[in-house]
A and B are shown apart, each in its own frame.
Chain A
Amino acid sequence: MTEVAINPVNPYLRMDRMPSIWCPGCGIGTSVNCFARALTQSKIDLKKTAVVSGIGCTGRVSGYMSVDSFHTTHGRALAFATGLKLGNPELNVVVYSGEGDLIAIGGNHFIHAARRNLDVLCVCVNNFTYGMTGGQVSPTSPATAKFTTAPLGQFEEPFNLPYLADSCGAVYVARWTTFHVRELTKAMRDALKKRGFRFIEVISPCPTLYQRRNRLGDGLDAMKYYQEKSVKKNGANTSELRIDFQSEITVGTFVDRERPTFADAMNARYKEVLGPRYVPCPDNYVPPQAKGEGT
C-alpha cells in the first residue's frame, strides 16, 4: 500500500466537494491554501467562523471552506456579511470574492463597509478580469490589455484597490501576489486577529482567460512575472500603487491602524444616551415559558 500524505489544509476544506472548479494554474486555489493555513495559525474558532462570497470563480471559495459558507448574490457579499456580523457579533466573518464582484457591482457596499469599519476580513482576488463569465473587462483591467468586451484593448482607468480601501477607512490594507505564499499567509493570519474592516488584495493569475487572450503564457509565467516585477514596500503611500499592464506590482502591508468598528461606535453611542436601558446584541433573552421547563 502506498502512503498518501494528507495535505494539512484538507481539514479546512470540504473534501467531498473536490476537485474544485478552478482551472489548472489558477491562483484562487493558491490563495485558499494560504487562507486555510492562516486559519490554523490564527487559532480562531472555526465553529464561529463564516465565509461569505458573491458570484464568480473566486465566489466559489466560500463553498469549499469547511466552515459556515454563504454563497450569496453577485456583488452583495459585504451587504450580507453586514447582517451576519451585526446579527451575531461573536462570528468571525470573512468575505472572499473577486474584484468584479467586490468592486464593480459591489463597489457601493465596499466603500460603505470600509467607511463603517464593519468588523470583517475582506479578501479580494484580483485577476484583472471576470473569470466566471469568460474574460470580460473588470474595474482593475489595465489599459491596452484585451478582453472579450474590449477586443481592441481596454482604455479605461483601472482602480487602485489599496488606495480605495485606505481612503474609505479600512484599518488594515495589504497586497500580495499568489507568488508570495508565505507573506500572504502571514497577512491573512495577522488580519484574522485584527478587528475592523481589513482588506487584502491578492493579485492572481487567470491563465485560461486573461493570460491566454493577452499572450501572457500559463500560471508559471505569471509566477515569473510576479517574482520579477513585485516590489515589497511596507507602508507605501497607497496612492502610488496603481498597476498597469505587466507593470511593476508594489506589494506589502500598507495600512495597519485602529479605529472603532461599527458595533463599537454603536454600542458606545447607545450606552452614552440610554445608559442601563441599552440592551446590546447578542441579547440572551429567554422567553418566560422556556424557563425551568427542564427538557
Chain B
Amino acid sequence: MAADPRGVLTGQHYLDGNHAACEGALAAGCRFAAGYPITPSTEVVERIAQRFPTMGGVFIQMEDEIAASITLQGGVWAGKKALTVTSGPGFSLMMEHVGLAAITECPCVFVNVQRGGPSTGLPTLPGQADMMQARWGSHGDYEIIALCPQSPQECFDFAIKAFNLAETWRVPVMLMMDECVGHMTERVVIPNAEDIEVVERNFTKKKPGEYKPFDAGDGWVPEMAKAGDGYNLFVTGLTHDERGYPVMNHHAQEKLVHRLVDKIRKNADKICEWEEDGIEGAEVVVMSYGITSRVAQRGVEIAREQGIKVGTMRLIVAWPFPEKRVKQIAPTIKSFVMPELNYGQMVFELERCVAGMTRTVLVPHGGGEVHDPQVIANAIIEAARGKN
C-alpha cells in the first residue's frame, strides 16, 4: 500500500539523519510517539512534536524512558503505528519493555542514536556499542530485528523499512543509528507518497469468538486486533496460549517462545539484508555497518591500491545476522576484518558463523570518533599477509 501523503514531504532536502529518520517514520504512517529527551537523539522527537499535529498524530514527552517504551505500546494497541527514540542510558531503561513487545508481539519501533558508553559516557559523540544490547538486552528468549543506516538518506529509508518489518513480523524493530549518522547533514530525497511502499497492520476480519489473538495458524504471525473493536482482547506479558490467556507450564512456554524465536530465525532469509562488493576472488572481506561502513570504504580503497583483493559486506539488517552468506564466503577467503566502534560486539556473531572456517580480525575503537581509515587499511593488509 502507498503512504499517507500527509506524512510525506516529497522533494529533495538537506537533512541530518535525525530529521530524516523522523520523516521516514511519518512516511511509514507512524502516528504515535512517546519519548524522553536524550542527546544525541532528541531532534527526532522535536521534529515529530512539530509535525504530528497536522496529520492526526499524537506525541507525548513522558516522565522517563521506562514510561515512553510502554506508552508507545499502548498507542499500538489503540491501533497506531508508534515509535520511541533514545540513546544509551535511555535504551537501558527501555529493556524490560522490549521483552514485553516481544512476548505480546507488539509491532513497534525503537530508534537508538548510539553514543559512547557505558553509563553517561560520551553524550555528544558516536558509538556502536549497543548492538548486543539491542539483540539481548531484555531477559528471556526472543528475537528482534535491527537496522543500521549509514547516511541521512538511509535514516529515512530504513525508518520506513523498520515500520514495515515491525508490521510484517510483529516484533520490536531497532533502528540502530549513531551520533555521526544522526547529526551529519546530506541530501535526502523523499519520493512521492504513491511510490513509498508501506505495510499496513494485518487486522483480523474474523468475528469476535472466532478470533484467537495469538493463534498464528499455519503461518508465523497472528493477525491483530486493537482495543475497542469488541474482541475482548487479553494481552499479557505472562506466557500465554492462543487466546492470550496465561498458562504457567513448560508446554505453553515451548509453544509460544519457540514460535517467537522461530518466526525470525526460520525467516532470516526474508529479513536479512546486506550490500556486498568484490567478494568473488577476495582475499579479505571487510564487514561493517552504520557510520563505520563509510570509514571502512576508504580503508578498503587504500588496501586495494596496494594490490590486495578486498571484498566488502555491509550490514543493512544486523539482526538477524546473515549467517548463511557468511558461511558461504568464509571458506573462500583468508580473513574477515571487522571494524566497529566498540571493543567487539557484532564480531562475536561473525566469529560464531565463521566457525573456524577462516580468521576474523576485529578492528576495535572505543567510540567518540570514527576509525582512522589507515588503521582499517593496515588491518586488511596484515590480514591478507596472514600476519594478524
Contacts and interface: CB of A to CB of B under 8 A. Distances in A.
A83 B101 CA distance: 14
A283 B34 CA distance: 18
Interface stretch (A85-93, A128-136, A187-195): A85-93
Interface string A71-90: 11100100111111111101
Contacts of A87: 32, 58, 74-80, 82
A283 B77 contact: no
B216 interface: no
Contacts of A82: 34, 60, 62, 67, 71, 74
A278 B70 contact: no
A288 B34 CA distance: 28
Interface stretch (A60-68, A143-151, A155-163): A60-68
Contacts of B31: 281, 283
B204 to A, nearest CB: 14
Given A82-B67, A108-B64, A279-B56, A68 B74 contact: no
A175 B51 CA distance: 42
Contacts of B74: 52, 70, 79-87
Contacts of A262: 60
A86 B70 contact: no
Contact of B62 (A79, A81, A90): A79
Looking at B34, B64, B67, the one whose CB has the most chain A CB atoms below 10 A away is B67
A47 interface: yes
A274 interface: yes
Contacts of B97: 73, 76
B237 interface: yes
14 contacts: A14-B232, A66-B232, A69-B232, A69-B234, A70-B77, A70-B235, A81-B74, A84-B78, A88-B228, A108-B64, A112-B62, A283-B31, A283-B55, A289-B2
B23 to A, nearest CB: 17
A270 B53 contact: yes
Contacts of A108: 63-64, 67
Interface string B75-115: 11111101000000000000011001000000000000000
Interface residues of A, number: 46
Given A87-B78, A287-B1, A109 B63 contact: yes
Interface in A261-289: 262, 270, 274, 277-283, 285, 287-289
Contacts of B234: 14, 63, 69, 71
Please classify how large the interface on chain B is, using the bins under 10, 10 to 19, 20 to 34, 35 or more.
35 or more
A291 interface: no
A48 interface: yes
Interface of A: 14, 17, 47-48, 50, 52, 55, 63, 66-73, 76, 79-88, 90-91, 108-109, 112, 262, 270, 274, 277-283, 285, 287-289
Across chains A and B, which 5 residue pairs bring their CB atoms closest together, nearest first?
A: A83-B74, A283-B56, A87-B78, A79-B67, A71-B236
B60 A86 contact: yes
A104 B190 CA distance: 46
A277 B226 CA distance: 28
B54 interface: yes
Nearest to A53: B236
Given A76-B97, A280-B56, A281-B58, A63 B32 contact: no
A79 B230 CA distance: 23
A70 B233 CA distance: 8
Given A279-B54, A279-B56, A285-B56, A83 B236 contact: no
Contacts of A88: 78-79, 226-228
A69 B236 CA distance: 8
Interface in B239-271: 245-246
A83 B100 CA distance: 15
Contacts of B64: 108
Contacts of B63: 108-109, 112
Contact of A63 (B1, B56, B75, B236): B236
A258 to B, nearest CB: 22
B343 interface: no
A68 B71 contact: no
Given A50-B227, A71-B235, A76-B70, A86 B58 contact: yes
Contacts of A63: 234, 236, 245-246
Nearest to B198: A287
A52 B237 CA distance: 12
